[in-house]
Amino acid sequence: MAPPLLLLQDVSLTLGATPLLHSAELSVAPGERLCLVGRNGSGKSTLLRIAAGQQPLDSGTRFLQPGTTVRYLPQEPDLSGFASTEAYVAAGLGPGDDHYRARALLEALGLTGQEEPARLSGGEARRAALARVLAPAPDILLLDEPTNHLDLPAIAWLEAELASLRAALVVISHDRRLLERLGRAVVWLDRGATRRMERGFAEFEAWRDEVLEQEERDHHKLARKIAAEEHWLRYGVTARRKRNVRRLGNLHALRAQHRAAQGPLGTAKLEAADGEISGRIVIEATDLAKSFGERTIVRGLTTKILRGDRVALIGPNGAGKTTLLNLLTGRLAPDAGTVKLGSALQMMTLDQRRESLDPAATLADTLTGGHGETVVVNGQARHVMGYMKDFLFSPAQARTPVGTLSGGERGRLALAVALARPSNLLVLDEPTNDLDLETLDLLQELLTDYPGTVLLVSHDRDFLDRVASSVVNAEGDGRWVDYAGGFSDMLAQGGRIMGAPTPAPVPPREKPAAAKETTAAPPRKLTFKDKHALAALPGRIEALQDDMTKLQAVLADPDLYARDAAGFARTTAQLEKAAAELAVAEERWLELELLREEVEGR
């Protein structure tokens, strides 16, 4: 194995009074593809800054092979002090770097190079920052949330561009699809320490669950008391993933209902059955049209959004997703056509930029409005500590100022504030930005359980597949087409993404060492054994759940241990075995069910 280009050993760092990292390690060999994952606030961005040489250490070592070039993309790139985007990108070039590649990258990313940095949108600033780190063709690329603020065409372009490079990659991202396609190994930062898995990201969550479950068993064996809140925060992720297996069935039913109601595939019209109860239709748009000058945003859109739908609006930046969102919710008048809103609507819009959050207020005061210790959710008063736990905050964070929270934690808090207010129509514009994988799972769960209707704008393909019952895709010239299902379902039905950037030319030393790395795998098929397992597993899962219910009822007897210690131990062992078998069965069923959808969609 080649010696590492970059090596961090025994890294420790305390920020303020809080220990953030202890004995953390990171090794990057030539050409490696590493995913750096961990919860919001765990120190991922800090570790990446240390790797880039931009953050001093309390202790430990950082070693970089002489002559190795490193480029670092921060979450919030700073373009101040530069007259244009071209000047900003050129400042990142070293002696001998190709200025033509810098210009070509800017063009491929939809920039002219003459844009003024102060006038850039978040997406344009991200594209300029990507051009700056890619242009020098470095030996190591350190990327912190590279897909934030990017649209679907730009994300697809970035995937292809990164896959074509020979540079080593270390990527922090909430985009599961990007991590699955690029990652070859995973570094998990958890409670200040790092663990490494020498497999692709697709296997990370199952591996993480195994590690946490083994850790939990070890704690029990050593008779250590685990604090209830910490136990839930750490080990609740495995339970959520298993509940989401069952939720997948509900989403399938919702998509089937939407597909049956919409009529022929590819039309922009949704039909609801006659005779539904009052309030069933949430939004009804007829022949909707909107233009700004000579630019047509929406043309002839007719659609119905029904109570309980989860509708995602997708398309490239500038296609008019936010405009369409405002038209559908009545905040913007159309040039032609009509929009009728259903009765008794209570709309709640998520503040994408978190500007409504007071940085000086504490977390608890933000949730309660500074009055008392309760939060009213769905008409029921809940203690603020319990509500915080639902959003992965510990009680110790109750008096933490909002301004000290990480970007992902602020996003989580904004969700908590929005969902605490009475609503039956939730409007979310890019809710996944800055969120970690656990919080994305939580958001998926919350949206699945939300009793109202959801309008969603997102570029996270995996999240769209997990949440959306239908997508409305911008297909050019003001034409919007509705498809049943998520992002992958849309592609299977012939939908297309407009405005994909063209690849930039790659210097000879950056061409892939082997075409094999990017060659598409042959399509998978359901074997006879798979079909048999798919039919048998639901019965097996139900039987295991029944067994666990019976065993839990036995263990609920408070006198069992004193009366029959051996029986208590035997029943506990049986329960653990049944739980393990249930987890395996549910994971296998989910894998086969997704494969079945993939096969039938081709």
Per-residue model confidence (pLDDT) at position 333: 93
Per-residue model confidence (pLDDT) at position 265: 31
CA dist 243 and 445 (Å) reads 9
The answer to whether 521 and 180 are in contact (CB under 8 A) is: no
CA distances from 159 to 150, 203, 515 (A): 12, 19, 15
Most confident of 248-252, 482-486, 537-541: 482-486
What percentage of the chain reaches a pLDDT higher than 90? 36
Per-residue model confidence (pLDDT) at position 407: 73
- With a cut of 70, say whether residue 174 has pLDDT above it: yes
Per-residue model confidence (pLDDT) at position 357: 83
What residues does 482 pair with on adjacent strands? 472
What percentage of the chain reaches a pLDDT higher than 70? 83
Tokens for 543? 């039987």
CA distances from 376 to 366, 379, 427, 429 (A): 13, 6, 20, 24
Per-residue model confidence (pLDDT) at position 517: 40
Sequence ranges of the domains in the chain: 6-209, 254-346+423-492, 361-419, 523-602
CA 185 to chain centre: 19
Per-residue model confidence (pLDDT) at position 27: 96
Could you give the 3-state DSSP secondary structure of residue 225? Answer: coil
Q: Which residues touch 341 (CB under 8 Å, ≥6 apart)? A: 282, 283, 329, 330
Per-residue model confidence (pLDDT) at position 266: 30
Q: Render pLDDT for 226-277 as a digit per residue (tens, 0 to 9).
A: 444 445 445 555 555 555 655 566 666 666 655 554 433 332 222 222 223 3
Could you give the 3-state DSSP secondary structure of residue 11? Answer: strand
Side by side, which strands form the sheet with 281-292?
295-306, 281-292, 336-341
SS3 track for 387-405: HHHHCCCCHHHCCCEHHHC
CA dist 405 and 359 (Å) reads 9
6-209 homologous superfamily: P-loop containing nucleotide triphosphate hydrolases (3.40.50.300)
CA distances from 99 to 109, 112, 508 (A): 16, 14, 15
Q: Closest Cα partner for 452 from 422, 487, 416, 482?
A: 422
Per-residue model confidence (pLDDT) at position 378: 66
Per-residue model confidence (pLDDT) at position 228: 46
Q: Closest Cα partner for 104 from 121, 90, 84?
A: 90
Query: Is the fold of 254-346+423-492 the same as that of 523-602?
Result: no
Mean pLDDT of 339-366: 82
Torsion, Cα 536 539 543 545, to 10 degrees, reads 110
pTM recorded for the entire structure? 0.68
- With a cut of 70, say whether residue 113 has pLDDT above it: yes
Mean pLDDT of 581-590: 76
Per-residue model confidence (pLDDT) at position 140: 97
On average, the pLDDT of the chain sits at 81
Classify domain 523-602 by CATH architecture: Orthogonal Bundle (1.10)
Per-residue model confidence (pLDDT) at position 470: 92
Q: Render pLDDT for 360-416 as a digit per residue (tens, 0 to 9).
A: 899 999 988 888 888 877 667 888 888 888 787 878 888 889 888 877 778 788 888
pLDDT classification of 565: cutoffs 50, 70, 90: confident
CA dist 72 and 92 (Å) reads 10
Q: Look at 289 and 15; give whichever has higher pLDDT.
A: 289
pLDDT classification of 209: cutoffs 50, 70, 90: confident
pLDDT classification of 518: cutoffs 50, 70, 90: very low
In this predicted structure, which of 42-56, 288-302, 414-428 has the lowest mean pLDDT? 414-428
Per-residue model confidence (pLDDT) at position 305: 92
Q: Render pLDDT for 6-28 as a digit per residue (tens, 0 to 9).
A: 999 999 999 776 789 998 999 99
Per-residue model confidence (pLDDT) at position 247: 59
pLDDT classification of 349: cutoffs 50, 70, 90: confident
The torsion angles phi and psi of 574, rounded to 5 degrees, stand at: -65, -40
Q: Is 477 left (phi over 0), alpha (psi -120 to 50) or beta?
A: left
The answer to whether 400 and 6 are in contact (CB under 8 A) is: no
CA dist 310 and 512 (Å) reads 40
CA dist 518 and 178 (Å) reads 13
Mean pLDDT of 145-158: 90
- With a cut of 90, say whether residue 358 has pLDDT above it: no
Tokens for 497? 């993404």
Per-residue model confidence (pLDDT) at position 250: 64
What is the residue whose two structure tokens read 């500038």?
318
Side by side, which strands form the sheet with 470-474?
347-349, 425-429, 453-457, 310-314, 470-474, 480-484
Mean pLDDT of 531-544: 83
Q: Which amino acid is at 152?
A: L
- In eight-state DSSP terms, residue 509 is G
In CATH, the number for domain 254-346+423-492 is 3.40.50.300
Mean pLDDT of 310-317: 90
